[in-house]
């Protein structure tokens, strides 16, 4: 399943890397794309729920719009 989330606090590639890493900790085989200028996170996941993905992003220190 593919999830798209808007994360307004993404400001730079460092934010993208932090979010990517926390999502990989949740699901190592997930495919993750972070668009820094659009502040969008796209997660292609086999096993994670939207709620789990949101929690991983929140615990990395970001809010979801
Ligand atoms: Cu940043």
Residue 23: which CATH number?
A: 3.30.70.100
Q: How far is the CA of 7 from the centre of ligand 1 (A)?
A: 12
List the one residue out of 49, 57, 52 whose CA is nearest residue 20.
Answer: 57
Q: How far is the CA of 29 from the centre of ligand 1 (A)?
A: 24
- Asked if residue 53 is part of any domain, the answer here is yes
- Asked if residue 32 is part of any domain, the answer here is yes
Q: How far is the CA of 48 from the centre of ligand 1 (A)?
A: 25
For 22-62, the pLDDT digits (tens) are 999 999 999 999 999 999 999 999 999 999 999 999 999 99
- Asked if residue 22 is part of any domain, the answer here is yes
Q: How far is the CA of 25 from the centre of ligand 1 (A)?
A: 19
- Asked if residue 64 is part of any domain, the answer here is no
* pLDDT of the residue at 31: 98
- The answer to whether the beta carbons of residues 63 and 56 sit under 8 Å apart is no
- Asked if residue 8 is part of any domain, the answer here is yes
Range of the domain at 17: 2-59
- Asked if residue 65 is part of any domain, the answer here is no
Identify the band that residue 16 occupies on the pLDDT scale cut at 50, 70 and 90: very high
Number of domains in the chain: 1
Q: How far is the CA of 16 from the centre of ligand 1 (A)?
A: 7
């Amino acid at each position: 399943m593919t999830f798209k989330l808007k994360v307004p606090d993404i400001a730079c590639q460092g934010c993208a890397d932090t979010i990517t890493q926390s999502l990989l900790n949740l699901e190592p085989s997930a495919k993750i794309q972070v668009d820094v200028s659009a502040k969008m996170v796209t997660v292609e996941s086999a096993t994670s729920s939207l709620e789990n993905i949101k929690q991983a992003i929140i615990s990395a220190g970001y809010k979801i719009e």
